[in-house]
C-alpha cells in the first residue's frame, strides 16, 4: 500500500502532509476557479463592444438546435470511419513490415529497414499532403493512407520487438517439428508476439485516432472541421468557445475509452513489474514515445 519512497507517516508528518495537501489543493482549486471566473467575465473589446462571458447562456443556446448535434455526430462518425479503416490497414502493413525486417534474406530486410526509417521519421501531415497532391486520392484516402503507413511502421517495429523478445526455443521447437520457417513465424512466433504487444498496439491505435484530426488540414470533413469550422462559421463568432469545448469533450470521450481499454489489456497480459511509486502499477504506455527497441530490451531483461 504505502510507497517505498517514504515511510508510513507518523502523526507529526501526517499533520504536516495534511497541511501541505490542503494548501496545495486550495492553490490548485483556486487557480482553476480563478480561470473559470475570469473566462466567465463579460469583456470589452477594443471598439468598446461588450461581449458576454464564456459561460453566458447566449453562448450556449445553440445546442438546443438539433442540427448542431447532427453535424457533430456526422463529424464524429467521419473521424471514427477514417480511424477504423486506417487501423485495419495499419495492422496489415505492420505485420508485413515486421516480417520484412525479420526476413532471412538481406534483399528484403535492408530495403524494408530503409523504408521503415523513412516513414517513421517523416511527419504524418507531410505524408498526407504528399499523397493528396501526388496521387490525387481525395482527402479521405490521403488521410487513411498516410495514417496507415505511418502507424503500420510503428506497429511493425513493435511486433518485431515482440518476436525478438520470445525465447529462442520457440522458433527452434517449431522448426524441429518440421514446420517451414514461414509457418513457424506465422503459427508459433507471431501469435505470441502479437499478444505480448497488444497493449502497445492499442496505444498506437489511440494515436491513430487522435491523428485523424490532422486530415482536417488536408480538407477532410471530420469532427474538428465540422465542429470548429463549419458550425462556428455558420453560427458566428460568439459560439466558437462552446463548440471548442464540445469537440474537445467528444475527442476526450473517444480517446480515453480506448486508452482505458489498452490499460485493461495491459494489466491482464503485460508483465507484472514492481514499481517504486505509489500510483498505478501498469507500466505507462506512451503512444508517441513507444520505442520498440527499448520495449524489446525491457521484456528481455
- Which residues are near other proteins by CB under 8 A? 3-7, 9, 17, 20-21, 24-25, 28, 39, 43, 45, 117-118, 120-126, 129-130, 133-134, 206, 210-214, 216-217, 224, 228, 237, 240-241, 244, 247-248, 251-252, 255-256, 259, 273-279, 283-284, 286-291, 293-294, 297-298, 301
Of 182 and 237, CB closest to other proteins: 237
Of 5 and 57, CB closest to other proteins: 5
CB of 164 to other proteins, least distance (A): 14
Q: Give 53-103 as a DSSP string.
A: -TT-GGGTGGGG-HHHHHHHHHHHHHHHHHHHHHHHHHHHHHHHHHHHHT-
Residue 31, C-alpha cell as written in the block: 487557480
Of 9 and 73, CB closest to other proteins: 9
Of 171 and 210, CB closest to other proteins: 210
Phi first, then psi, for residue 247 (nearest 5°) are -60, -45
At 296, is the secondary structure helix, strand, or coil?
helix
Residue from 210, 199, 234 nearest 86 by CA: 210
- Residues facing residue 50 across a β-bridge: 44
Phi first, then psi, for residue 43 (nearest 5°) are -130, 155
Of 139 and 212, CB closest to other proteins: 212
CB of 4 to other proteins, least distance (A): 4
Of 180 and 293, CB closest to other proteins: 293
Residue 194, C-alpha cell as written in the block: 502479437
CB of 172 to other proteins, least distance (A): 24
Phi first, then psi, for residue 219 (nearest 5°) are 100, 15
CB of 61 to other proteins, least distance (A): 19
- d(CA 120, CA 293) in angstroms, rounded, equals 14
CB of 70 to other proteins, least distance (A): 21
- In terms of DSSP H, where are the helices of 102-137? 106-121, 124-135
CB of 65 to other proteins, least distance (A): 21
Amino acid at each position: 500500500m504505502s510507497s517505498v519512497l517514504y515511510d508510513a507517516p507518523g502523526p507529526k508528518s501526517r499533520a504536516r502532509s495534511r497541511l501541505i495537501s490542503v494548501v496545495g489543493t486550495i492553490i490548485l482549486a483556486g487557480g482553476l476557479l480563478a480561470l473559470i471566473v475570469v473566462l466567465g467575465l463579460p469583456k470589452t473589446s477594443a471598439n468598446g463592444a461588450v461581449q458576454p462571458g464564456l459561460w453566458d447562456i447566449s453562448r450556449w443556446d445553440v445546442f438546443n438546435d438539433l442540427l448542431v448535434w447532427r453535424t457533430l455526430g456526422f463529424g464524429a462518425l467521419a473521424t471514427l470511419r477514417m480511424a477504423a479503416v486506417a487501423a485495419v490497414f495499419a495492422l496489415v502493413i505492420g505485420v508485413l513490415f515486421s516480417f520484412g525486417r525479420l526476413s532471412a534474406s538481406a534483399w528484403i530486410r535492408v530495403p524494408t529497414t530503409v523504408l521503415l526509417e523513412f516513414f517513421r521519421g517523416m511527419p504524418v501531415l507531410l505524408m498526407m499532403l504528399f499523397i493528396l497532391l501526388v496521387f490525387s486520392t481525395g482527402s479521405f484516402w490521403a488521410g487513411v493512407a498516410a495514417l496507415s503507413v505511418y502507424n503500420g511502421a510503428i506497429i511493425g517495429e513493435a511486433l518485431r520487438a515482440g518476436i525478438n523478445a520470445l525465447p529462442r526455443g520457440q522458433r527452434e521447437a517449431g522448426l524441429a517439428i518440421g514446420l517451414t520457417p514461414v509457418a513457424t513465424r506465422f503459427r508459433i512466433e507471431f501469435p505470441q508476439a502479437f499478444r505480448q504487444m497488444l497493449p502497445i498496439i492499442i496505444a498506437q491505435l489511440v494515436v491513430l485516432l487522435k491523428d485523424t484530426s490532422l486530415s482536417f488540414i488536408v480538407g477532410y470533413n471530420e469532427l474538428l472541421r465540422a465542429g470548429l469550422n463549419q458550425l462556428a462559421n455558420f453560427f458566428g463568432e460568439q459560439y466558437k468557445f462552446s463548440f471548442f469545448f464540445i469537440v474537445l469533450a467528444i475527442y476526450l470521450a473517444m480517446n480515453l475509452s480506448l486508452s482505458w481499454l489498452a490499460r485493461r489489456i495491459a494489466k491482464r497480459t503485460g508483465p507484472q513489474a514492481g514499481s517504486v511509486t505509489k500510483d498505478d502499477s501498469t507500466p505507462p504506455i506512451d503512444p508517441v514515445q513507444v520505442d520498440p527497441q527499448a520495449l524489446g530490451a525491457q521484456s528481455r531483461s
